[in-house]
Structure 1
Amino acid sequence: MLPLLAVFMLLLAGCGNPAATPIDPNNGVWDKYFVKPLSDTLDWFAHLMWDEYGLAILVVTIIIRLIILPLTLKQYRSSKKMQLIQPEMQKIREKYKDDPKKQQEETMKLFQKEGVNPLAGCFPLLVQMPILIALYNAIMRNTEIKEHSFLWMQLGTPDPYILPLIAALTTYLQQKMMSSQMNAQMRSLMFIFPVLIFVMSMSFASALPLYWVYSNIFTIVQTYFIYGVPKKEVAVETGKTAQTKKKGVKGGQKK
């Protein structure tokens, strides 16, 4: 869900048409220390890569994602700990289902015992938001990017079909890769977000959906190495089969 939350925050930052506001380092801390350095970095890489801003966005996206990789790994470890104590949490919920206060106390005791901070997964997300929003602004407010093309796209104007379709497809694939880390409610939204991304990509300058595509591909690769191929559904089915066999054996012994 992290990439989708990032997209949501980036869209919030885009309210008020930021592309119409030139980058001015004298216009406050935000432009001077966040947006301008990233915009200059895009220009620098573009000049190294035959003035191809599409490749510059790719390189800067990879660099940003590598910088925040330790935070992503921290999220993974926090998520893993929470998964491991889920059976114990379920026992507490069942045991104290009629006493919410006691349930909360026992849950906090469990967190302290296992060294789990339920808010630890939120902190990396909060740290990443300014970086990602600054990158979004650097892309959308860079006047050079507006005037360049990449492959079939004009980076300063929307691509009506192909790029939005790729953005939606990669969004779905990266969610599919992370499905084993989602609860049932989040998995039910797997088809909604790609549709939203498709619709929004049709109206945004191509540079932004291109960034989404790059970021989604990075997330897919990253998720593969961190979590592996989703196996939750297979594990559930295997567990059901094992339980069925076990019951069958017990039934045979009773006979």
Structure 2
Amino acid sequence: MNFIMTVCGYPFGWLMYGLYHLIGNYGVALVLFTLVVKVLLFPLGLKQQKSTIKMQMIQPKVQEIQAKYKNNQAKMNEELQALYSKENYSPMSGCGPTLIQFPVIFGLLDVVYKPLTHLLRLSSENINALTAVATDLGVGMTGYAPQINIYQSVMQNPAAYSSVGADVIQKIQSLNMNFLGLDLSGTPNLPWQGGWNWLVLIPVLSAATALLSSIISMRNSPNMGQAGASMKLMMYIMPLMSLWFTFLVPVGVGIYWTLSNVFSCVQMVILNKIYNPKEVAERMKAEEKERAERERQERIEAKKRAKEALKNGERVEDTTYLSDKEKIKEARRRYAEKYGDEYTDD
């Protein structure tokens, strides 16, 4: 896991480094970072929106196939694949944006956990020296973010780290991790965890905005059967997980998730303006009805042509639309034609 976070954190670390040194404030850089990520992921969000609407449209057909072949899994899968192919739909098309979120989160965690590496660009030798001093001082180094612990220790007792070098200490002291009066290097505390601090508001905001985002998403998604029930369940589980996890990590992570949820709500509003689910669903229904009517007319015309050809004694290439009696008559005519017999229409 540490390797994955390091790999994902490398590009995001440079992004945060550039934003931080451009703005000079960690919190503002985090806001811009979140906004940049959301803008980059917007095309994927639009693709996911289209995929979701498409799935909602074919869901009744999917449920019909599932009910019809519930005792034959192989046939069910075959029919579902045929349906997806006919409708030009891929069940995996909506997973991309969700999967991409994971390296983003891993990258952000690495950036937030390692400010000495990503924001200050300290060498591994300097970080190892700081770690050794912090360990001698009894600073906890086994948590989620040992570099955060080192940062806090240096800020509280810089003289203890004089052996590392004045330039390194000065760099650490120049790191501004305050945002709106909050220390983003800290973690939220409840009264039974050693005292109250205002950072506890961040997990609450993270959970509340996650719930709001889920509610907006559900309102834009009509009932999808079993999938819809799962979505409703996740609507409550995800905010609770967010609430719990943001108590374990530096506030910077909670700030990112809160901002990400807010931007997601804004993104959904924009997507609904560009690609409104109800309007698209109505248009797709109209197109489906038009296609069905066109196919019906084509079948009628094909049937007329087949009967006309049979009536004129011509060869009927497509007997699909003939009655059983007419099919037998055409088969007899072809048999006679093949073996040189004389065919008479009884």
TM above 0.5: yes
Task: Determine helix, strand or coil for the equivalent of 2:234.
Answer: coil
Note closer, same or farther for the CA distance 1:30–1:219 as it changes in structure 2 (3 Å cut).
closer
What do residues 188-229 of structure 1 show as CA deviations (whole Å, max 9, x unaligned)?
A: 23223222222222221111100011000001111122247x
- What residue ranges of structure 1 are gaps of 5+ in the alignment? 1-12, 24-28, 233-255
Moved more, 125-134 or 103-112: 125-134
Structure 1 or 2, whichever has the larger Rg, is 2
State the distance in 1 between where 2:8 and 2:260 align.
23
CA shift for structure 1 position 131: 3.4
The alignment of Structure 1 onto Structure 2 pairs a total of residues equal to 203
Residues 1-255 of structure 1 aligned to structure 2 (within 5 Å): 32=10, 34-45=11-22, 48=23, 51-143=24-116, 147=175, 148-160=177-189, 161-180=200-219, 181=221, 183-227=228-272
State the distance in 1 between where 2:59 and 2:32 align.
39
State the distance in 2 between where 1:132 and 1:41 align.
19
State the distance in 1 between where 2:99 and 2:234 align.
22
Asked whether the equivalents of residues 177 and 220 of structure 1 are also in contact (C-alpha less than 8 Å), the reply is: yes
State the distance in 2 between where 1:128 and 1:94 align.
34
Q: TM-score under structure 2 normalisation?
A: 0.53
Q: TM-score under structure 1 normalisation?
A: 0.70
What do residues 133-176 of structure 1 show as CA deviations (whole Å, max 9, x unaligned)?
A: 22332232123595521113111111332111111111111111
CA shift for structure 1 position 53: 1.3
Asked whether the equivalents of residues 9 and 109 of structure 2 are also in contact (C-alpha less than 8 Å), the reply is: no
- What residue ranges of structure 2 are gaps of 5+ in the alignment? 121-147, 149-174, 190-199, 222-226, 279-346
RMSD: 2.8
Asked whether the equivalents of residues 35 and 135 of structure 1 are also in contact (C-alpha less than 8 Å), the reply is: yes
Aligned amino acid, residue 13 of structure 2: K
State the distance in 1 between where 2:45 and 2:37 align.
12
Corresponding residue number in structure 1 for 2:282: none
Aligned amino acid, residue 135 of structure 1: L
The one of the two structures with greater contact order (alpha-carbon pairs below 8 A, sep at least 6) is: 1
Task: Determine helix, strand or coil for the equivalent of 1:166.
Answer: helix
Corresponding residue number in structure 1 for 2:326: none
State the distance in 2 between where 1:207 and 1:108 align.
44
